[in-house]
């Protein structure tokens, strides 16, 4: 951890006290990540495995993490606002992702699917919160200014997995698609027309 928030007995609480506590912890972790891993994208875990015990046309990407450069807060973080300083964040895939692979429809053709990952930093957990009502402390407002509208309650940092289909081609001429902007390629999965199972031999880890 880097900086720490100081609060005092009797002092009125501020939103920035809580927000800065979270932000300072994020910054401490990010600079530790950078010292150990550098600034290039790194992944850990995220193993690709066929369906077990009987293989089919699904592949599971296991729990894991991605470490990637990303703005500290590209969207305003409450009263702290926007901070576009790039840091090394950790995005987590907390539950396995199951991908469905569809073989090409043309006889004699094969196709490569790219499994790609990206760090996703988005707000979530919308709730209608209770707000202080100075006119009647026993009857808090529902939402800002008693509007009934919801607020995000969590800024999540996850590892998002996406499947990108390559162009079907004559078997032997199929090509692996390139990752989309911001993504890093993890695996190339090759399937042929009429195929009904994907085993480990059809899954290749990318460098």
pLDDT tens figures, 148-190: 999 999 999 999 999 999 999 999 999 999 999 999 999 999 9
Q: Of 89, 83, 88, whose CA–CA distance to 19 is shortest?
A: 83
Cis amide leading into 119 (omega within 30): no
pLDDT of amino acid 1:
59
> How many angstroms separate the CA atoms of 53 and 121, rounded?
35
Instruction: Give pLDDT tens digits for 95-154.
Output: 999 999 999 999 999 999 999 999 999 999 999 999 999 999 999 999 999 999 999 999
pLDDT at position 25 over 70: yes
Classified as helix, coil or strand, 146 is helix
pLDDT more than 70, % of the chain = 100
Q: Of 61, 78, 155, 67, whose CA–CA distance to 116 is shortest?
A: 61
207 — pLDDT class (breaks 50, 70, 90): confident
> How many angstroms separate the CA atoms of 127 and 150, rounded?
5
**The model scores a pTM over 0.75:** yes
Question: Where do runs of H (alpha helix) occur along the chain?
Answer: 15-37
Whether the CB-CB separation of 82 and 23 falls below 8 Å is answered with: no
């Amino acid at each position: 951890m880097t900086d720490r928030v100081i609060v005092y007995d009797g002092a009125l609480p501020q939103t920035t006290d809580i927000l800065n506590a979270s932000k300072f912890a994020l910054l401490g972790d990010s600079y530790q990540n950078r010292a150990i891993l550098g600034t290039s994208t790194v992944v850990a875990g995220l193993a690709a495995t066929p369906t077990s015990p009987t293989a089919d046309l699904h592949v599971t990407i296991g729990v894991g993490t991605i470490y990637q450069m990303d703005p500290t807060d590209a969207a305003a973080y409450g009263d702290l606002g926007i901070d576009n300083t790039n840091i090394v964040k950790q995005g987590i895939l907390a539950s396995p992702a199951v991908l469905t692979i569809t073989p090409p429809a043309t006889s004699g053709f094969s196709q490569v699917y790219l499994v790609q990952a990206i760090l996703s930093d988005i707000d979530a957990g919308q709730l209608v919160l209770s707000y202080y009502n100075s006119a009647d402390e026993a009857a808090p407002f529902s939402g800002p200014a008693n509007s009934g509208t919801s607020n995000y309650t969590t800024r999540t940092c996850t590892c998002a997995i996406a499947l990108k289909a390559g162009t079907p081609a004559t078997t032997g001429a199929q090509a692996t698609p390139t990752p989309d902007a911001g993504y890093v390629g993890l695996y190339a999965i090759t399937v042929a027309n009429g195929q009904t199972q994907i085993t480990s031999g059809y899954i290749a880890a990318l460098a």
